[in-house]
């Protein structure tokens, strides 16, 4: 593996009595694309959210590019800006135009001059295929287009790593591929990515590794080919049996 960018060591998290993350040890290399997969409630979203401290954790450590995640304050805001996150629900600002959605972070957080932020935003919107929609508002775009704007918005911050939590699961089938295509391109360009998804085609095309999570634990890890054709654990076999016959 290349030099690690994200390192999680013995990470444990509880919600009250519920032990949601159990001794998570996970390293993600620079430029690596890792798929997180597992049953509902296994802790995939929680794991993603601890990586940029949207969730706290009680024990263990997480470093990004060698730096421990600060608890709070400006240091946290700075480091969090290095971690892009794209959710199932696109979370665009409804009362801002597409262009404003993409320039807001760079202007407010990175202090990029407006003209420069807009130039870069237009390049990114071009790249995800929605530049002609720049003056519109989110509600005027399809789900697939909104999700591509959400990706462009994340990229505008020049993140070191991008987290995707089921980015296509709220989309109509015909829009899934347009979003996955953008993600495949990003992966090919060398972006470090952690992707929660059941999209096996994407996993095979773009990922180096699948991490299978069950009950808050990493149960097995393998290449996509190996995992989908020859899962080792009974939990993974059972899980794949369910999603394949779904």
Ligand X SMILES: Nc1ncnc2c1ncn2[C@@H]1O[C@H](COP(=O)(O)OP(=O)(O)OP(=O)(O)O)[C@@H](O)[C@H]1O
* Interface with Mg ion (CB under 5 A): 45
> Of the two residues 45 and 168, which places its CB atom closer to Mg ion in the complex?
45
Please state whether beta strands 18-29 and 4-15 pair in parallel, antiparallel, or not at all (unpaired). Answer: antiparallel
> Of the two residues 50 and 101, which places its CB atom closer to ligand X in the complex?
50
Smallest gap, in angstroms, from Cβ of residue 40 to Mg ion? Answer: 7
> Of the two residues 4 and 43, which places its CB atom closer to ligand X in the complex?
43
> Of the two residues 62 and 141, which places its CB atom closer to ligand X in the complex?
62
Partner in contact with 148, chosen from ligand X, Mg ion, none, beta carbon below 5 to 8 Å by kind: none
Partner in contact with 46, chosen from Mg ion, ligand X, none, beta carbon below 5 to 8 Å by kind: ligand X
Smallest gap, in angstroms, from Cβ of residue 21 to Mg ion? Answer: 13
Smallest gap, in angstroms, from Cβ of residue 35 to ligand X? Answer: 13
> Which residue's Cβ has the minimum distance to Mg ion?
45
Smallest gap, in angstroms, from Cβ of residue 87 to Mg ion? Answer: 9
> Of the two residues 155 and 214, which places its CB atom closer to ligand X in the complex?
214
Partner in contact with 43, chosen from ligand X, Mg ion, none, beta carbon below 5 to 8 Å by kind: ligand X
Partner in contact with 120, chosen from ligand X, Mg ion, none, beta carbon below 5 to 8 Å by kind: none
Q: Which residues bind ligand X (CB under 6 A)?
A: 15, 18, 20, 38, 40-46
Smallest gap, in angstroms, from Cβ of residue 119 to ligand X? Answer: 37
How is the chain classified by DSSP, letter by letter? --SEEEEEEEEEEEETTEEEEEEEEEEEETT-EEEEE-STTSSHHHHHHHHTTSS--SEEEEEETTEEPPSSHHHHHHHHHTEEEE-SS----TTS-HHHHHHHHHHHTS---HHHHHHHHHHHHHHTT-GGGTTS-GGGS-HHHHHHHHHHHHHTT--SEEEEESTTTTS-HHHHHHHHHHHHHHHHTT-EEEEE---HHHHHHH-SEEEEEETTEEEEEE-HHHHHHS--SHHHHHHHHHHHH-
């Amino acid at each position: 593996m290349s030099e690690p960018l994200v390192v999680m060591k013995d990470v444990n998290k509880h919600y009250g009595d519920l032990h949601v993350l159990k001794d998570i040890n996970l390293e993600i290399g620079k430029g690596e694309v890792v798929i997180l997969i597992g049953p509902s409630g296994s802790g995939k979203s929680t794991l993603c959210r601890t990586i940029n401290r949207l969730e706290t954790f009680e024990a263990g450590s997480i470093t990004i590019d060698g730096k421990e995640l600060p608890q709070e304050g400006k240091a946290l805001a700075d480091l969090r800006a290095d971690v892009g996150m794209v959710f199932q629900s696109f979370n665009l600002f409804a009362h801002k135009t597409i262009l404003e959605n993409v320039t807001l972070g760079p202007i407010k957080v990175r202090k990029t001059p407006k003209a420069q932020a807009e130039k870069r935003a237009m390049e990114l919107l071009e790249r995800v295929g929605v530049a002609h929609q720049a003056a519109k508002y989110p509600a005027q775009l399809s789900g697939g287009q909104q999700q591509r704007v959400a990706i462009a918005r994340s990229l505008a911050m020049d993140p070191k790593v991008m987290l995707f939590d089921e980015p296509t699961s709220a989309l109509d089938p015909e829009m899934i591929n347009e979003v996955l295509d953008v993600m495949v391109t990003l992966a090919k360009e060398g972006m470090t990515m952690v992707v929660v998804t059941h999209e096996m085609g994407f996993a095979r095309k773009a990922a180096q590794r699948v991490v299978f999570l069950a009950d808050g634990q990493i149960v097995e890890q393998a290449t996509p080919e190996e995992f989908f054709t020859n899962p080792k654990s009974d939990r993974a076999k059972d899980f794949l049996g369910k999603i394949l016959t779904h």
